[in-house]
Structure 1
Amino acid sequence: MDRSTLRADMIDSLEHTLSRPLSASVLSALRSVPRDEFVPDTPYHNRASEFEGTRVLAPQTVVQLLEALDLSAGDSTLIVGSGVGYTAAMIAEIVGETNVHAIDIDRTLVYAARDNLSRAGYDGVLVDCVDGANGLPQYAPYDRIVIEAAVLKPPQALLSQLSEHGRIVYPDNPGHPEQSIVAADRFTRNFEQLDTFGTAQFRPLLVAGESTRGPERNRMHREDAEFATQGYFAKHGWEQEWIDWDSHL
């Protein structure tokens, strides 16, 4: 079966699962982006997969993020958590590749995303190795920011990099089995939650010093036992509760 037929079957499956037609821009991106350049094994199945210790989002989750972003041509967009680059390619199809900036704390993933995007024909997308909590102020402001990792609330550094009428999209409740994809608009230094766009499961946002493949931060045995009994925190990123997000202003 050729690639275009597989993509068409994937789109039909997505619309059936979501019980609604997809927007014209998202449909066009789904038809155009060769997902097999980013996901080698069963790329057009609607399921998540693993690569180098990170979760590759299922097509349905990518669609939910894009619909929450409500993208328009020319929107300057920052992706926090480049992963393998598929989301960046999808966004590039809508806003234009030179308007897409993607960052990841994992250098291996940054190189993989760059290679995948180049093979797929999206060389204009910028991918850099940066702590996601700090954003990428060199190219701010952004009309849209999407965080591909769960956070208690968006870091202040990211909110400060939104344009006046910008929008940020993120999964909430890190460590919980079911998270909501949240969209919020920025007004001066505050933001107002607009809506949720379905549920998903993301890993917590990593910060400087953490890695998808490295050891956990050192902790006392008593603390380890205490957090383990709560059943709340993931293996990596448990420190999200004590990060001083305001320090990233």
Structure 2
Amino acid sequence: MDEASIRADAIEGLEHQLDEPLDASVLTALQRVSREPFVDDASRSGGRGQTGDDATGSLSTATVVRLITALDVAEGDDVLVVGAGAGYSVAMIAEIAGARHVHAVDIDREAVWAARSNLSTAGYDAVLVDRRDGVNGLPEYAPYDRILLEASVVEPPRALRDQLAATGRIVYPRGTTVQTIAAIEPDAVGEPDAQTAHDVDPGSDAAPEQPPDRSSTEADTAPPGFSTVETAGPVRIDPMLVDGEQGGVERNRTRREDAEWAQQGHFAPHGWEQEWIDWDDRI
């Protein structure tokens, strides 16, 4: 069986698993983006596991599809992906929006290297992948029409919300242990709708269009100034890392400095060996 047939069967199985037809743009991206370049390095992508994912630790295709469907990307949208991982979902978004419109960050330097290499192999080397703390986003290229978090949070960090365009959308796994994929958008501000109550002909049956009633028995847990417009799930994705939690970083200072001393000897930059220096003579 050739690759095209295998991929067609996989897509059919995915639609059955999700119990709904795939969005046209997402379906096209699935057909065009091969997963193969992203599989070998997936286990080095920061360990973003999820129940039901493959053994590499990367997000399952079903979860990637759910995230990107909720993101609702259009061609030409400027997109920021927080948590580049192995780069597969980044490539999917690049196929829809255009590679030069997609930016990705990851706190794990090894994941950044893997994502850059994989995206280049897959033909999406125009995507910018940078080593950044996702909490701070990537302000140099803001505002973004879409922001995707591939790490679970209770609510998106303020910096990311500030980097979103006024008509943009943020998608993220909301929660702690088991999450729901949430899509949020800024609340409408400014002038009211063109058709207001006093614009309606008193003799007509037409009534002014009312804003959607967001009140319900379950309060919207979107951050202030935002409303949840779509949810999907459940999913289980690892939480957003803070600086110092990425792979290969020793958080215990004693063990870290002992290792540095063993490797660098008296040139080690940390520890007691610096105390004897007369810094007044060095300035």
TM bracket (short chain)? 0.7 to 0.9
Question: Hey, what does 1:94 align to over in structure 2?
Answer: 96
Deviation at residue 196 of structure 1 after TM alignment? 0.6
Q: Which has the larger radius of gyration?
A: 2
TM-score (norm 2): 0.70
Contact conserved, 1:79 with 1:148, CA < 8 A, in 2? yes
1:1-249 alignment, distance < 5 Å: 1-40=1-40, 48-49=53-54, 55-174=57-176, 176=177, 178-187=178-187, 190-214=225-249
Paired residues, what number?
A: 209
Deviation at residue 47 of structure 1 after TM alignment? 5.1
Q: Distance in 1 between matches of 2:174 and 2:250?
A: 24
Q: Which moved more, 1:201-210 or 1:189-198?
A: 189-198
Q: Distance in 2 between matches of 1:115 and 1:152?
A: 31
Contact conserved, 1:105 with 1:131, CA < 8 A, in 2? yes
Identify if the C-alpha distance between structure 1 residues 104 and 50 changes in structure 2 by more than 3 Å, giving closer, same or farther: farther
Q: 1:49 aligns to what SS in structure 2? A: coil
Q: Distance in 2 between matches of 1:162 and 1:205?
A: 19
Q: Which moved more, 1:134-143 or 1:1-10?
A: 1-10
Q: Distance in 1 between matches of 2:52 and 2:4?
A: 18
Q: 1:112 aligns to what SS in structure 2? A: helix
> In angstroms, what is the RMSD of aligned CA positions?
1.9
Q: 1:25 aligns to what SS in structure 2? A: helix
Q: Distance in 2 between matches of 1:212 and 1:205?
A: 13
> How far does the alpha carbon of each residue in 1:22-61 deviate from its partner, in whole angstroms, 9 at most, with x for none?
01100000000010111149xxxx952355xxx3100000
Which structure 2 segments of 5+ residues have no match?
42-50, 190-223, 254-283
- Counterpart of 1:96 in structure 2: which amino acid? G
TM-score (norm 1): 0.79
Identify if the C-alpha distance between structure 1 residues 217 and 181 changes in structure 2 by more than 3 Å, giving closer, same or farther: farther
Deviation at residue 214 of structure 1 after TM alignment? 4.0
Following TM superposition, the consecutive aligned residue runs of length 4 or more in structure 1 with deviations greater than 3 angstroms are 212-218
Q: Distance in 2 between matches of 1:104 and 1:4?
A: 32
- Counterpart of 1:48 in structure 2: which amino acid? D
Contact conserved, 1:47 with 1:59, CA < 8 A, in 2? no
Q: Distance in 1 between matches of 2:247 and 2:72?
A: 30
Q: 2:89 aligns to what SS in structure 1? A: helix
